[in-house]
Chains A and B, each alone.
Chain A
Amino acid sequence: KQEVTQIPAALSVPEGENLVLNCSFTDSAIYNLQWFRQDPGKGLTSLLLIQSSQREQTSGRLNASLDKSSGRSTLYIAASQPGDSATYLCAVRPNQAGTALIFGKGTTLSVSS
């Protein structure tokens, strides 16, 4: 059974720092991996999606990498800002036929000004 783990559960950094959020999954046979952002009381917003054949994806200050063989993904946030404060969730899609996502419990990030 696929399990997704995110470490750390919470992270506090001062504004301007570069930071890395980690995601690991137990079964390397995935179709793709997605990073989401969740603000308090809100739904999830997709940030980046990496197909199983890709190594990384970039969007602005965000860079997500995927090492499928080792079951790991990282989300790199450059020059963090207070507006980046949120919970970041990692989710894997096991295969093309089964389109439901399996989520980690998230990392709650707090960026202080």
Chain B
Amino acid sequence: DAGVIQSPRHEVTEMGQEVTLRCKPISGHNSLFWYRQTMMRGLELLIYFNNNVPIDDSGMPEDRFSAKMPNASFSTLKIQPSEPRDSAVYFCASSFRAGGQNIQYFGAGTRLSVL
């Protein structure tokens, strides 16, 4: 398996523009997570899905952020409108949720710069 695939790897945009980050989880995994990493706050959970259903979105900072998972093999995180303080690395992770270890596998991340 190719692992968790995120695109784009880098995104530079201007304040006010819409940004869409994409994630393809590992085939067979039924949980998907979106995290954001900054120097100040470290890695923080934004939202996660189980079986394509959002379970906890309490980490989504504002209404400007939205996430969807239309099927088991694809998810998007959208920021509209984007602001400079949204600049961070956004990671997607997936896991197989069942009894047991439930290890999360991370993608390489999308580095977002909002000018």
Contact = CB atoms under 8 A, between A and B. Distances in A.
Interface of A: 32, 34, 36, 41-46, 49, 51, 89, 91, 93, 96, 98-106
Contacts of A106: 42
B33 A100 contact: yes
Interface string B24-45: 0000000101000000001111
Contacts of A105: 42
B107 A103 contact: no
Q: How large, as a class, is the contact surface on chain B? A: 20 to 34
B101 A49 contact: yes
B23 to A, nearest CB: 11
B56 interface: yes
A98 B97 CA distance: 11
B45 A100 contact: yes
Contact of A43 (B48, B95, B99, B106): B106
Interface in B69-115: 91, 93, 95, 97, 99, 101-109, 111
A34 to B, nearest CB: 7
Contacts of A41: 111
Contact of A98 (B4, B56, B111): B56
A103 B97 CA distance: 19
Nearest to B108: A43
B56 A46 contact: no
A99 B103 contact: no
B91 A101 contact: no
